[in-house]
Structure 1
Amino acid sequence: MTGSQWRELGAFVETYSGPGEPVAVKDLIDVAGQTVRNGTPGLGHRVATADATVWARLRAAGHVAMGRTTVPELAWSCRTPGCANPWDPRRDAGGSSGGSAVAVAIGAAPVALGTDTGGSIRVPAALCGVAGLRPTHGSVPMDGITPLSPSMDTVGPIALTARECLRIHGLLTGETAGIRPVGGLRVGRPASLWGDNADPEVLRLVEEAAGTLRAAGVEIVDVELPLARRHARGTGYTVLLFESARQWWAEYEKHPDGLAGRAIGQLRAGSRVSTSDYEQARKLAREIRGEVDAAFDTVDALLLPTVPVTAAPLDADTVQVNGRTEDVEAAYYRLTALAAVTGHPALSVPAGLTAAGLPAGAQLIGRRGQEGLVCSLGEAIEDGPAARELARARRRTR
């Protein structure tokens, strides 16, 4: 793919070059001497005087920042304006790390850094047919990264494979974890989280991923997460609204020209969330975390779709899910909210291509600190026939 082609897909806002292994960097992360724009006309712009810790660690390992990737305003969206899906440029790439996912999917960068608050690494990774790792909350330093909702903000890698995501994660944390055999593991399938409220083609591919794990010696068992089913999405959204407004609303009121899009309405709504509602949401988050921790007494990980639909058309505000109309952003966020609320590590890996030729992702959630386990399960899924066919198709289209 030529430089002009990936610029047309909206992957980069600015490019750099230098010796070393290239990494594309989401435009929220400080790289010394570079301008951070946060996807806004002016709010939060800064010239970084030092590297964010995550970038300092990658630089020390021999990586070089090759470009800043496109992001929606303040990362407040599961869609990335101006960023098209490499499998069908008429469709969405997801967000907010959409530019990072596109850069990897088209081969412009072998690895990219993204951030994930409600699903911003995993959603675009799933829609663009690559792997993306949301690490355990608090395991990777967040200094030098524009905050949105500190109790949920994380930073992590997007790459072609789970193994490469784990390698980069090890550089970010300074802790090494390797891929391990998965035979004998038990993986929970919390099907009540989605029921029939998902695209049948997405469910088919996730079921194929489960079959691949079974063939590798993994036991798949049903688990129930009733609190998560009722409250994870709403709880995460309330926390995100409240904390983002506390970060940015007063600054926006001082500089109203600093934002121009959807983030204005989200920050305004967040400024109206009461402290008592926020505290109740945080209490629910702790209870949901406890429910998931209890599930991990009997299973090693959870398997679910990353996104219950495939990429929506760029101009669509809604999607149809089994005859139901749903807001695109709500649909994208519905199943990534769980790990965002609980703080557990979550990986999205390509599960395969639908009959329409669009990628779908399988999401794996593990115990806190068990990135190595979820990436091992992810690599096992990548070895399945549907995921291998997606990888072959991706190579053909580059």
Structure 2
Amino acid sequence: MQPHELSVAEAARQIEQRTLSPVELVQSALDRIEQVEDRLNAFVVVTAEQALEAARRAEEEIAGGGYRGPLHGIPVGIKDLYDAVGLPTTSSSAVRSDHHPTEDSACVARLRDAGAVVVGKTHTHEFAYGVLTPTTRNPWDTGCVPGGSSGGSGAAVAAGECLLGMGTDTGGSIRIPASVCGTVGLKPTFGRVSRAGITSLCWSMDHAGPLTRTVRDAALALQAVAGFDARDPGSVQEPVPDYARDLDAGVRGLTLGVPTNYFFDDVDPEVEAAVREAIAVLEAQGARLREVEIPYAGQMMAVEFGIVIPEASAYHQEMLRESGERYTADVRVLLEAGETVLATQYIKALRVRTLVQQAFRHAFEGLDALVCPTLPTAAAEVGQEAFTFPGGARKSVIDAWVGHSAPGNVTGLPALSVPCGFTSAGLPVGLQVIGRPFDEAGVLRIGQAYESATDWTSRRPPL
């Protein structure tokens, strides 16, 4: 096994024991980037020289007894919405091709404090406004998209170009690429991780979080970046637990809700079969299953887009007037459409979101988490516009995918995607675990129990 194929936890163990050096690990990741990047295009920019210098500093610190913890010396890819000193923040857009921040975003600063080594900035769907990341390809099949908007991070982690990728999630943009690229993706509770220094799509539903190879790696990443930050008006002063402490406690005695509607209404049969089998694995480990009806299912997408579209247009209003021709056509159309949304419509969407949040709190009474498909399909082909489901329902790619991830954003609840199988075409499928507010530890515990009973996360793309 090459160093770039290791999980964060395993690489950290070897680095701490000094059987692997940060320089060796980072060089392995950079070699992998050079090997596969011409087929994936996951990175906007790769900072090989700076990364190797940071790796050498990490090696010297560790040799001198200054080991900082499990992210020390770990190569990380940062979604190109996060400000990082010395790197451009283009948001994968010509509009910001010359934007160079003078301060690290909160997450990047915390990752650097933990000793992580930034190897570059990963592609996003322009300004995170989409689910395809059209610049990037899926490492399991380069004729398919990697999902979005954190598609660069998802593809890079899956392909071994970095051991940890940071993403953002406003309508599923961490969980969507995690599902279709076969990685773990964690969207924490709204307010758990600071968004200071991250380009916004929709400030009232933006989340920041990690994409990793394993659930344990996601716990280690969240440990480094979680916590209150006064610079983020949505940040919450909630104690940060030790996410690894009860990771292996199993699911015996936990009650998991299985939706009777919405998440299984229009789903590819292969995806449904994989997810049902994954739920059965959790039941066999001692979890109790309870059928649950998802409240406000018919309003979920109206609320999601009723808030995202006007908030995104408000953020981009000035740039759209100054540089409208520099936006890609699909994003420009959405931004222009957002300016036609009435204030009364936006306020109604905000009010219904409150009702949805209250209804989910009621639905969660007696439950530890919901388990369901992350997405209703595997990866879409490049250029594919829609899916047709059994029964004849036809949905655009964005409607199909955001429909499954939107509940986590509308409610702000923590949600995890874990690989749970493959289709007959060899494309990954994701299991989604949605937890109670600020119970990322519980969500990770459930994901770890499933991951430990299967071998999906050990598989690698056939690049």
Fold-level similarity (TM above 0.5): yes
Residue 114 of structure 2 corresponds to which residue in structure 1? 61
Q: 5 Å matches for 1:202-241? A: 202-227=271-296, 229-241=297-309
Partner of 1:377: 446
Shift in Å at residue 4 of structure 1? 3.9
Q: Of 320, 344, 366, which residue of structure 2 is paired with 1:276?
A: 344
Percent same amino acid at aligned positions? 35
Q: Which residue of 2 aligns with 1:246?
A: 314
Q: What is the alpha-carbon distance in structure 2 between the residues aligned to residue 239 and residue 272 of structure 1?
A: 13
Equivalent residue pairs, number: 393
Alignment counterpart, residue 90 of structure 2, candidates 37, 42, 54: 37
Alignment TM-score, normalising by the size of structure 1: 0.96
Amino acid at match of 1:75: A
C-alpha separation in 1, matches of 2:458 and 2:74: 24
User: Residue 420 of structure 2 corresponds to which residue in structure 1?
Assistant: 351
Deviations 1:69-102 (A, max 9, x none): 0111111001101211111111111000000000
C-alpha distance in 2 between matches for 1:271 and 1:15: 36
Amino acid at match of 1:15: V
Query: Which structure has greater strand proportion?
Result: 1
Q: Distance in 2 between matches of 1:296 and 1:196?
A: 20
Output the CA distance in 2 between the equivalents of 1:358 and 1:143. Answer: 35
Equivalent of residue 184 in structure 2, options 119, 131, 139: 131
Displacement of 1:142 in angstroms is 0.8
TM-superposed deviation, 1:392? 4.1
Aligned twin of 2:13: none
Equivalent residue number for residue 177 of structure 1: 243
Task: Kindly indicate whether the alpha-carbon contact (under 8 Å) linking 1:38 and 1:45 is maintained by their aligned counterparts in 2.
Answer: no
Query: Paired residue for 1:15, among 36, 46, 53?
Result: 46
How far apart, CA to CA, are the structure 2 residues paired with 1:320 and 1:245?
Answer: 31
Which has more radius of gyration? 2
Q: Is the 8 A contact 1:127 1:310 kept in 2?
A: yes
For residue 220 of structure 1, report the CA deviation from its aligned partner: 1.2
CA distance in structure 2 between the aligned counterparts of 1:261 and 1:170, rounded to whole angstroms: 38
- Aligned amino acid, residue 6 of structure 1: E
* RCO higher in structure (CA 8 A, sep ≥6): 1
Alpha-carbon distance between aligned partners in 2 of 1:128 and 1:2, rounded to the nearest angstrom: 17
3-state SS of paired residue (1:192): coil
One-letter code aligned to 2:218: C
Per-residue CA shift, 1:116-157, capped at 9, x if unaligned? 011000000000000000011111111110011000001100
Separation of aligned partners in 1, 2:166 and 2:38: 18
Work out which of the residue numbers 48, 55, 58 in structure 1 matches 2:101: 48
Contact kept, 8 Å, 1:133 with 1:348, in 2: the verdict is: yes
Q: SS at 1:202's partner residue? A: helix
Tell me the distance in 1 between the aligned counterparts of 2:79 and 2:104: 13
Q: Secondary structure at the match of 1:151?
A: coil
Aligned counterpart, 1:78: 131
Alignment RMSD: 1.4
Using the alignment, how far apart are the partners of 2:451 and 2:347 within structure 1?
Answer: 40
Indicate the residue corresponding to 2:368 in structure 1: 300
Q: How far did residue 48 of structure 1 move?
A: 1.3
Which stretch has the larger CA shift, 257-266 or 96-105?
Answer: 257-266
> Alpha-carbon deviation of 1:191?
2.8
3-state SS of 1:303 partner = strand
Runs of 5+ consecutive residues of structure 2 not aligned to the other structure: 1-31, 56-72, 228-239
Task: Tell me the secondary structure at the aligned position of residue 319 of structure 1.
Answer: strand
TM (normalized to structure 2)? Answer: 0.82
Q: CA deviation at 1:320?
A: 1.7
What secondary structure does 1:226 align onto?
coil
Q: Name the residue aligned to 1:102.
A: 155
Ranges in structure 1 where 5+ consecutive residues have no aligned partner: none
**Match of 2:380?**
312
1:168 aligns with 2:199: no
Partners of 1:191 and 1:304 within 8 A in 2: no
Q: 1:291 to 1:76 in 2, by over 3 A?
A: same
Structure 1 ranges of 4+ moved more than 6 A: none
